[in-house]
Amino acid sequence: MNKIFAKTINIAFVLVLLGAPLISCSGAKERPIPGANIAGIRTPITRILISPLAFDAAIVAVEGLVHDLHEENLNGEKKTIFRLSDLKGNFINIVIDGSWDIYENDYLIVGGVYRRAENEIEATQLEKIKLEEE
């Protein structure tokens, strides 16, 4: 009786091991994690504003909405400048080299070096996040 029970347990275990990968292959499309490739300490804008000294000169990654977007030529180089704000209205100034395909109220994840004196991130990376419509 014990041998039959042990054999049944082994067969059930093998079926579970073989069947588990099939269960996860339900045809659902994998979605990449937004901003996963943006380097830096991922933190809310509010946390930086509460402790700016702690983040001064640190590489950070923040997310929020674009406001006051404009381009300037500084020392012969084109820069894109805007405020990135969270949903509570807290903001950090963003400066990034070049011209980017972004617009007012776009939702972005931005990575770069935070400068406390200017309340500014010298951005090196950004990713536009498409918010899902309900």
pLDDT at residue 63, rounded to an integer: 95
pLDDT at residue 89, rounded to an integer: 93
Question: How far apart are the C-alpha atoms of 21 and 70, rounded to whole Å?
Answer: 50
Residues 27-70 pLDDT 10s = 666 666 666 677 788 999 999 999 999 999 999 999 999 999 99
Which has the closest alpha carbon to 117: 53, 63, 50?
Answer: 53
Q: Is the pLDDT of residue 117 over 60?
A: yes
Residues 87-101 pLDDT 10s = 999 999 999 999 999
Question: Within 13 A of 129's CA, how many CA atoms are on the CB side?
Answer: 19
**In sequence order, what are the residues at sequence separation of 6 or more whose Cβ sits closer than 8 angstroms to the Cβ of residue 85?**
45, 64, 65, 67, 91
The average pLDDT across 4-31 equals 55
Report residue 63 as tokens: 């997310």
Domains of the chain: 41-129 (2.40.50.140)
